[in-house]
Structures are given as structure tokens and as C-alpha cells.
Chain A
Amino acid sequence: MLALGRRAWSTTKPIASGSDHTAEIVGGDVLAPKFRFYEKKRGNRRTGSRMLGSLGEAVFFAVLFLLGCAGLVVLLATLVVPEYRANHVFVQTQCVVRDKQLGRKDTAEGPRFRPEIRIEYQVQGETYVVRTYDIRQAYSASPEEVQAVLDQFIVGQQYPCWYDPDDPKVAVLVRGYSWWFWLTFLIPVSFILTGGAGLLYAAWTWGKSAERRAAPGARRAPLPRADGIHRSAYPSVPNPANITNSPGTELAFRLPLAGSPSLRLVVWLVVALGWNGIVSVFAAWAIGEHVAGRPDWVLTGFTIPFALAGLGLIVFFFRQLVLATWIGPTLVEVSDQPLRPGRRYEVFLSQTGRLRLNSLEVLFVCEEEATYRHGTNTRTETFRVFQQPVFRKEDFQLVHGVPFEVRFPLEVPAGAMHSFQSENNEINWKLIVVGDVAGWPSFQRSFPVIVYPPGEGSPTAASSAQGSGNVGKLPR
């Protein structure tokens, strides 16, 4: 490292470049350019040849696009154009039915059938005899349906028909569009859209560095946030609008509960009902066999473990229901939001229910959350890096209709990292209410808060903090 006055010249470090022609600089030294055809790829990190990778992606999407185009052309040529010509170009005339039969074709899925009607008609003095019905000449799996079509025509009688003026030996007895068949267009069109979008993306990113793609000018301008603060004011800090839109009754803001207990109950109810509904069919069958005097022990043995699991699901659901009912709602309010490091705030906790608690504790925690892709799987890992008990009360009774209410101070440590949110990584602060219920499993409810970087804060926060005092002592 060279020191020039107050400047420090860099000791550059290796970065995840991966370009096949990129010289990686390590400690001021330049490594030889690398060219690697294939390497592992974890998530968005590509450690192989960037140019080769981009080329591979472009080829992949080009193949998709071309396959879609080819499929579309085939469908147009075999379905759309013939049907359009039959409906709009073919010329009407009269024909005589000379013969009719059930056309049959044996396929791997079984025999297929279609109506084959021999008709005779004249075009400009020339007589044509052809076997036909409609322009698609499609086969059906149902001989009854085809026979019903044949029964509509009587040999020797005259019927209208339509012939192709460009090729008079092509004629049909019925016209119309087979709309259901047009659903097959979804396949080539989806290929074209996927391949086209991929090609456009490949063209947009071709030759561009990761920095250029992520540069502010390359993205749409950020929109103003609901709370009036422009999102770029605190980049990568979560939007506090969702946790400041609910005023509290005791303090300024009521914190939202992460997740919904009602939704969890509904999910467990659906799972329990679905599982037991399926099991009950087999159980009824097995019981019926026993009642009829011909017990099926294999079916019985197969059903019993599933029935026991279903019983467990029912017990678990009712346990959750009782817990949710007896514990009652937990309300947490805070004197100001978002929080700032080094500031003091006041928290209000209200817990209702009808049970005895060994302890009720509120933890102020910070957790890192990392999401990574491993093959086709996406995993999220959480790691707690800060935990501070801010309130604890032991051995007391919650009486129905009389909520337990308490106020206590909350101090955000000076130097605490602010809340952070990016695509794959997060730093989350939250208040967690943990209850140790006598005779029951403990419960916990989580209330997210947002911590801003140090800086200007709300005056209400400062004033309330000054008045709260007693930080660091746990009221009991």
C-alpha cells in the first residue's frame, strides 16, 4: 500500500468477477486470466465464465423461442389456415351421399374413430367423389359419438357441401371452428413469451457489468412511500408504513403481530379435516368388511396408523384452539416509531386470557436472516445476534375480562445496527412476548419494529424517553 499524504492507495482484493478474461487483483498482484468452462453456481453467484454463461442462457432462450415459433407455424398451417379457408373461401354446392362408414385407426391408446362419408359433387362440369366430413378429419375415442354423426346422413340424399376452389377434390360437409383446440396455442405461445423475454433480458445484460446493471439509472425511479418519506432517504431500510399505520390507545403506535393466529388455526383445521376425511373412507370400508363378517386385516392394518395420525391432528388442533382462546390477544404499543439507536422509548403490554402463568417475558431481539438457493431449493437461515429482556413477571394469574397491563422502558443500544432488507438478506428487530403457561407448552408472539440508523429522530421519542427513566431495571 502506498501512502500519499492523507491518501491511502488501495490494496485491491479479489472480487467475484468470474469473467473468463478478467484479471483478479489480489493484494496488488494480478492473477492470470482464467477460463473455466463449467463451475458450480450457487444462487446468483456465478463463479465460471460470465460470457460463456450469458451465451448459454441466450442460446437456451433462443431455442425456446424458436421451438415456440415452429410450434405456432405448425398449428397455424394444420388448424387455423384450413379452418379459415373452409369457413371463408370454400364454395358451397350440392352433393349426394353415396356411402358412409365408421373410420377406424388403431393407436397405442386404443382404437380411434371418425366419420367417413363418400360424397359426389360436380364442379364446372367435372364430377368429384371424395370421402370427407370436416376439414380437420380428427379421430375420436367414442364410436357412439361418431355413429351419431353418421346417422345424420342418409345414403342417396342431397346435402350442402363446400369445396376448395383451388383444389376442388377437397370438400367438407360441415364447417365451423373447433375453439377448444385453440387451447393448444398456449403451449407455443408460452414458449415464445418465455424465450422472447429471456432473449430480451440476455440482450439487455449482454456485456454489462453487475454494477452497470444495478446502477441507479438502470432502474426505475423509486416511488414516494406511503409515510411521506422518500424511499431513497434510507435505502435498504424497511418501509415503516406497515407498522405506523395503527395508532395505539395508550401509546403512539400499536405494533402489528407477525403472522395471524386465526389463519394458523384455519390452516390446521383444514389439514385435520382433509386428512381425516380421506382416512375415514378407508376406515369405513374396513369397518364395513368387519361388520359383513369378512375382515380385511391388510386394509385394517394399513388404516390404523393413518387414523392415529388423524386423531393426533385433531388433538393438536384443539390444543391450539384452547391455547388461542385461553391466552387471548396480546397488544403491544410503543411510544414512537421507527426506533433510533441510543434512544429510550416506552412500551405498553396488554395480555388477556384465563390461565396461570409461570412467567411472562418480553424480549427485544435482533436477528439476521439469510436466504440462499441450493440447487432448486430456497432456504432461509436465521441467527439471533442481540437479545435483551425488557420485561419479566413471574407466577401470576390471568383473570378473564381483566387484562394484565404494564408499561416498561425500552432502550435501543447505541451503535445498534439498523433494520436492513434486501432481496436475500435481512436484519430484523422485534419484540417477542414469551409466556410460560402452567401445565401447557409455552407460547410466543412476535411484534416487528424498525430501527433506523442514528440521526435525527422524533422529538416525541426524546421527550417520552426523558420522562420514562428507569431503563435497565425490570419491573415486576
Chain B
Amino acid sequence: MNEPRIQICLDGNGRAYRPGETLSGEYRLESVPLEEVRAIEVSVLWFTEGKGDEDLAVHHFRRITVDTPAAELRQPGRFSTVLPPSPLSYTGAILKIRWCVRVRVFLGRGKEIVGQRDFQLGVVPPARPVAGAAELPPAEGSPASSGSASATTKSAGRAPAKVIAV
């Protein structure tokens, strides 16, 4: 028996999408025991990766509680949404913003199957560390730290002799 999988297909061959453009596509359940499917969630979302704790925001969400015959689940499910103007996909030094379509299938007894398809919103070139940038203290008023730890501030490049924020 094949392993269960979720295939996600984006119209437009997975190219970079512009803000305000319609993202549409299909998902298909393969080798999933359809009689066990309780619900399907389709989300279009962005999440962060990198040094910081993960942030996640859902732009489009649809939950389908399955009370249809299993045969209908064999047909691809469609989704469509108009993409927002922000945040754009971004690959930075310590932060990445990734957009994706995520399909989560809930089976009986608490089992889940998750499929994810990344796509790009907007065209922002990858960021690179600044060469030769002066290392300056954190901007006044910028969040530093809470708890007992002190903030760790890094910056690319050399450090000048002495800089005081006044």
C-alpha cells in the first residue's frame, strides 16, 4: 500500500505572484484512507524563519468538515484567493518570510496529514550583510530584551572606535 500524500498544484506553474493577483490551484489526496477523513483545512499563509521565534499569519483559511461520500474526496479540491499587498516573500540574513499553501487533513483518532507548497509573493532580491558597515549601538527606543538576559546586537562589518547614542 502506498503512503498517503497530499499533492498541491498551483495554477501558473508556481511562478512568483504579484500582490493583488489571484492565487488558485488544486489539492489532491492520494492513498489517503478516505473513509477516515474527518476534515480538511486549506490555508494560504506566511510564516517566518530564522533567528527569531516563528510568526505565522493566515491570509486565507477554509475548513471543510467532511460529510460527503468518500468518492467525492477523490476529486481534486480547488482553492482561490486574492493575494494581499504585504508582506512580500523575503530572504534576509536572520529572517525569512515564506508564503505557502498548506493543506491539513484530519483523520480519525487524532491523525493528521499535512502537505505544503511554497510560492513567492513579490520579487525582493535576497538581502546580504552590509560589507564595511559601522557597528552602532542599538537604536534608542528599540526593544532590547526582557527577562534576565541582555540583548545581543550584531551587525556586519567593522566597529569604529567609540560611538555613543545621545
Contact = CB atoms under 8 A, between A and B. Distances in A.
A13 interface: yes
A134 B125 CA distance: 79
A438 to B, nearest CB: 13
Most B CB contacts (10 A, CB to CB) among A10, A43, A366, A377 go to A10
A379 B145 contact: yes
Contacts, number: 314
Interface residues of B, number: 95
Contact of B95 (A8, A257, A258, A427): A427
Contacts of A29: 3, 5
Contact of B145 (A323, A324, A378): A378
A383 B94 contact: yes
Contact of B153 (A371, A381, A434): A381
Contacts of A21: 107, 109-112
A460 interface: no
Contacts of A432: 136, 139
A371 B140 contact: no
A442 B166 CA distance: 9
Contacts of B154: 381-383
Contacts of B157: 384
A442 B45 contact: no
A233 B86 CA distance: 8
B93 to A, nearest CB: 5
B126 to A, nearest CB: 9
B12 to A, nearest CB: 6
B145 A384 contact: no
Nearest to A8: B14
Contacts of A216: 58-59, 61
A191 to B, nearest CB: 23
A465 to B, nearest CB: 21
A130 interface: no
A61 interface: no
A386 interface: yes
Given A236-B86, A259-B139, A368-B127, A422 B114 contact: no
Interface in A354-393: 363, 365-374, 376-387
B120 interface: no
B51 A372 contact: yes
Interface in A1-58: 2-4, 6-10, 12-13, 15-17, 19-25, 28-30, 33, 42-45, 51
Interface string B16-53: 00010000011010000000000001010100101111
A210 interface: yes
Nearest to A330: B166
A6 B138 contact: no
Given A22-B113, A211-B61, A443 B166 contact: yes
B151 A380 contact: yes
Contact of A51 (B41, B51, B110): B110
Nearest to A21: B111
Contact of B55 (A16, A260, A425): A425
B149 A17 contact: no
A258 B157 CA distance: 23
Nearest to B155: A384
Contact of B163 (A51, A379, A442): A442
Interface in A409-436: 415-418, 420, 422-425, 427-428, 430, 432, 434
Interface string B55-88: 1111101010000000000000000000011111
Given A23-B114, A382-B155, A215 B133 contact: no
B153 to A, nearest CB: 5
A25 B52 contact: no
A117 B3 CA distance: 84
B142 A258 contact: yes
B84 A235 contact: yes
A260 B142 contact: no
Interface in A226-243: 232-237
B86 A237 contact: yes
Contacts of A25: 5-6, 113-116
A320 B156 CA distance: 27
A418 B121 CA distance: 13
Given A12-B8, A21-B111, A382-B153, A417 B88 contact: yes
A324 B166 contact: yes
Contacts of A454: 122
Contacts of B130: 365, 384-387
Contact of A9 (B9, B55, B127, B142): B9
Contacts of B11: 6-7
B111 to A, nearest CB: 4
A217 B61 contact: yes
B113 A8 contact: no
Given A424-B53, A454-B122, 4 more contacts: A17-B112, A372-B52, A444-B136, A453-B122
Interface of B: 3-14, 19, 25-26, 28, 41, 43, 45, 48, 50-59, 61, 63, 84-88, 90, 92-95, 97, 101-102, 104, 107, 109-118, 122-125, 127-130, 133-134, 136-149, 151-157, 160-166
26 contacts: A9-B28, A10-B101, A17-B114, A22-B111, A215-B61, A216-B58, A234-B86, A235-B84, A237-B86, A320-B166, A363-B134, A370-B52, A371-B52, A377-B149, A380-B144, A381-B51, A417-B124, A417-B127, A418-B86, A422-B48, A422-B57, A428-B142, A430-B139, A441-B162, A443-B163, A443-B166
The 7 closest A-B pairs by CB, nearest first: A259-B140, A370-B52, A43-B53, A377-B149, A215-B61, A10-B117, A259-B141
